Structure 1
Amino acid sequence: MEEENSPCPGLTGLRNLGNTCYMNAILQCLCSVPPLVEYFLSGKYRGALQTKNGTSASAFACLLSNMWLGEFDCVSPEAFHSVLGIQHPTFCKWTQQDAQEFLICVLNELHRALKKSSKRQRVTSAKGGGVNVSETSIITQLFQGQLSYSITCQECETTTEKPESFTVLSLPIPSRSVCSLQDCLKCFFQQDTLTSTNQVHCSSCGKNQDAVVKATITKAPKIIIFHLKRFECQGKHKQKLGTDIRYPLSKLDLSPYGSRLFREDAQYSLCAVVNHTGLLDSGHYTAFCKHFLTGSWYSFDDARVAKIPNSSVQTDTAYLLFYQ
């Protein structure tokens, strides 16, 4: 309800429009990223706005402004939800949706609305929902990283490099009750052997061969988002992994997964978390966000906002992790 003044800008709840907790959690996390907030609140986005695809970014800017004015305890995201639903009717349905899929959708829409052409090489993404790196925007500047897959033919030992952009890294979860984020990262970046139907075509041999593949980070984004793959499908059987994943609030070091050319600052601090509680078809999303003005952590559960201690940020329900 919009009754009392919000005690601080950026601590504004979002009304649930009917099974839209997934959207509210994602919007709270995005609206807690300092450079993204500054970009929209300062009006810089207007100079990059595309006439054809600009409605989504304009609606996002309006919502973000309402959330940061500090006038209300709660606002409605209905206008943004309606605009996005025109391009993506799936999210207009009042049914359970996946927060990670919605996140990629929003990032892609904002990129389309704010992109500028560049002469950079075009690459495609097979994991995590990348955007076209031949065009730049505030989204690519903040969220886009680059992987390189080193593929070595086991017959002739020829090695080729395959670049791939990403905005979200989907990390596998080891089969155990408790693990760390580093364990998930090691699983993602471990060397893999491709055989049988997964063989790759070797240009030197001229035919499909067994190969060894290993990924490394060649460009780290300013904001890196990890998607913890809690939902898995095995045939018709679907399940949610309840593994307790321990993740650091600060000093996350990504340098072990970088290439030799990796010279960027690889130290990250946690800035937001999307949580998922419940089952696959009857779950609920909430968010934890670190307020960059107060330095404190807050819980966002649709319209409800509450300050929480640092010790409460670590949970076994984390689904998406935002590091800056």
Structure 2
Amino acid sequence: MEEMNSQPPGLAGLKNLGNTCYMNAILQCLCSVPPLVEYFLSGKYKAALHNENGESATAFGCLMSDMLLGEFDIVSPEVFHSVLEKRYPTFSKSSQQDAQEFLVCVLNELHEALKKSSKRRCITKAKASGGSVSETSIITQLFEGQLSYAITCLECKTTIDRPESFTVLSLPIPSKSMCSLQDCLKCFFQQDTLTWNNQIYCSWCRTKQDAVVKATITKAPQFIIFHLKRFEWQGNRKRKLSTDICYPLSNLDLSPYSSPLFYKDAEYSLYAVVNHTGILNKGHYTAFCKHSVTKNWYSFDDSQITRIPNSSVQTDTAYLLFYTCQDLFCTH
């Protein structure tokens, strides 16, 4: 049987600083994105840094260099963590935090530190919150996608489109013991009816009306991240859904949820998974990542790295799924 503990150069485990497995899992996944790795290891990021909030991006770049170019099998993320904790005290060493919330925080921090403004404002890409996406960075170039919400008034049948940018899509999980990623996607993109307190103001009817809303993808990013909503409120208590979700390692087709006007014939392959085992607040995070050169899969459990077969990548503990356009990991 093939030895699964062989570790190629350029892989390093991360020391757990207390309860920082959530951070370690996310960092390993981000270190599995070749264009992001190249951007930081080449030093290109230094030219884009903003002095007022560049400390986190600098610490991230140094940590990535230590992990991928260093001589140590285990690296301490102490400096990066301390920089982030200063700005976000929630992410302390002593308490377990949510990996998805940490991921969004890191992506936002890196974007803010590396963004540059474009002179030409694109109205169709204005965020629903009013923010301008004319501010671009390596983060938006790789991870940002675009949704369009078509909202139709049920009284006058007028439809308006509201665009919204995303870096992570949070998918609801159907209420059953087993389902597929496609089932979760269907739930997210199904048409919803807005009534009662959720009515929308119709500018044609000049009053609030019932409406239907349906989302479509108008721009699929090169790297798309799915958050499986395993933690939900039940009354005043939060519980974890242990649903076994089947997800493809390759050939993920997003065309059923994409606008035909914008859709390009691209399928996605899995390149990383964040797993959560245990119960809420007392669980443990690990990561599975695909090596961009060897194409082998590895399990990252803080400081421990183990090569795993493809058959082990499918688990019932998946919490975050990272996919990339298939061409990136093609064999030719």
| Same fold flag (TM > 0.5) | yes
Q: Gapped runs of 5+ residues in structure 1?
A: 1-5
Indicate the residue corresponding to 1:205 in structure 2: 205
The 5 A counterparts of 1:211-222 are: 211-222=211-222
- Please say if residues 143 and 224 of structure 1, whose CA atoms lie closer than 8 Å, have aligned partners that are also in contact: yes
CA drift at 1:42: 1.0
Query: Superposition pairs for residues 289-300 of structure 1, below 5 Å?
Result: 289-300=289-300
Aligned partners of 2:18 and 2:93 also within 8 Å: no
Cα offset for 1:93? 4.7
Change (3 A) 1:228 1:133: same
2:48 maps to 1:48: yes
Shift of 1:196: 0.8
CA displacement, residues 121-151 of structure 1 (integer Å, 9 cap, x when unaligned): 463357xxx9852310000000000000000
1:120 aligns with 2:126: no
Aligned residue for 1:90, secondary structure, equals: coil
| Contact map agreement 2:36 2:138 (CA 8 A) in 1 | yes
Asked whether the equivalents of residues 131 and 140 of structure 1 are also in contact (C-alpha less than 8 Å), the reply is no
Long gaps (5+) in structure 2: 1-5, 325-332
Q: How does 1:296-311 map to 2 (within 5 A)?
A: 296-311=296-311
Deviations 1:172-226 (A, max 9, x none): 0000000000000000000111111110011100010000100000000010000
C-alpha distance in 2 between matches for 1:307 and 1:132: 43
Q: What one-letter code is carried by the residue in structure 2 that aligns with 1:123?
A: A
Q: Look up the match of 1:320.
A: 320
Q: Which runs of 4+ in 1 moved over 6 A?
A: none
Residues 252 and 268 in structure 2, CA contact (< 8 A), matched pair in contact too = yes
Query: Does structure 1 residue 16 correspond to structure 2 residue 27?
Result: no
Contact 1:230 1:319 in 2 (8 A): yes
Alpha-carbon shift at residue 62 of structure 1 (Å): 0.4
Give a deviation string over 1:252-303, Cα, whole Å, max 9, x none: 0001100121232431000000000000021000000000011000000000
Counterpart in the other structure of 1:227:
227
1:3-42 map, 5 Å? 7-42=7-42
**Residue 109 of structure 1: how far off its partner (Å):** 0.2
Q: Kindly report which structure 2 residues correspond to 1:63-82, keeping only aligned pairs within 5 A, or say none.
A: 63-82=63-82
Tell me, in whole angstroms, the C-alpha distance in 2 between the residues paired with 1:123 and 1:242: 37
Where do 1:172-321 residues align within 5 Å?
A: 172-321=172-321
Q: Distance in 2 between matches of 1:317 and 1:131?
A: 35
Query: Which amino acid is the alignment partner of residue 133 of structure 1?
Result: V
Conservation of the 8 A alpha-carbon contact between 1:9 and 1:70: no
Which of 190-199 and 264-273 deviates more? 264-273
TM (normalized to structure 2)? 0.92
Between stretches 96-105 and 116-125, larger displacement belongs to 116-125
SS of equivalent residue, structure 1 residue 281: coil
The residue number in structure 2 matching 1:100 is 100
Equivalent residue letter for 2:216: T
C-alpha separation in 2, matches of 1:131 and 1:287: 33
Deviates more, 1:37-46 or 1:221-230: 37-46
After TM superposition, give the deviation of residue 58 of structure 1 in Å: 0.5
Asked if structure 1 preserves the Cα contact closer than 8 Å seen for 2:17 and 2:93, the reply is no
TM-score normalised over the length of structure 1: 0.95
Q: CA separation of 1:24/1:310 partners in 2, compared to 1, >3 Å: closer, same or farther?
A: same
Q: Return the offset for 1:7.
A: 4.5
